[in-house]
Amino acid sequence: MSATLARPTSNKSLTLALSVLKLRRRIVVSTYIFLRHGHSAANAAGTLTGQLPGVGLSSQGKKDALGLVERIGKNRINQIHISPIERCHLTIDPWLRSPYSRSLESFAIIDGFSEIDFGSWSGKKLSTLRRSPLWKDVQQNPSRFTFPDGESFRRAQNRAVSAFSDIRAIKGKKVHLIVSHSDTIKLVVSHALGQKLDDFQKIEISPASFTIFHGDSKTISLLTLNNSGSLKEILG
């Protein structure tokens, strides 16, 4: 019976392996948790709200917000970046008031993560808007659509992606919670995945769902999309 002797590791190979190990240890990867606000009164009424003030959470949305206390739980959150719109603040408020928020280092209101300005469509019934000849462009050609007296999808995507880039440039291994809106999150996800803007409507973002990225200022990877679980289940 013959035996095969293992080749001795060369000094050069060992040095290379140690260098790779040290490089991996130096890589700092942050976690970016996008949270859509809870079910809103406008969702319940079937209206397009946009940036209209004074629109709170529905009864289901209030349950969503209370449920987030345990769904976020004691998972470390270093920084919160939030849309200025009221329903986002109402969604995260119960967790902020809980003992779980002790890890929080900063809280910033970011205009870039606001809802799209739907202009003269704001406050109108979706059932009515869907009968408009323009609705087809909203769904199929958003890259060329601007809401009457409002904002274009492209402008909304540019400001949201710019705001996300600013967060990704923050140094250190951090866990960021970004509280925003369905279309705004979809636009960021679509850009991160390298999709054409006209394809962003294929993404679904439900109320109080998590969409999570890992990465840094140069690279990004999608961990989960439209997830209704807890951060403990998702992040381990």
Opening angle at CA 118, ends 112 and 129, nearest 5: 145
Domains of the chain listed by start with CATH number: 29-235 (3.40.50.1240)
Pick from 30, 76, 66: nearest CA to 236: 76
Collapsed DSSP state (helix, strand, coil) of residue 118: coil
The mean per-residue pLDDT over the stretch 191-213 comes to: 97
The mean per-residue pLDDT over the stretch 112-123 comes to: 98
The mean per-residue pLDDT over the stretch 112-125 comes to: 97
The pLDDT value recorded for residue 96 is 98
For the entire predicted model, the pTM comes to: 0.88
Residue 196 · residue 142 · CB < 8 Å? no
What pLDDT, in 10s, does the model give residues 50-73?
999 999 999 999 999 999 999 999
The tally of CA atoms less than 13 A away on the side-chain side of residue 128 is 9
Q: What are phi and psi of 73, to 5 degrees?
A: 60, -145
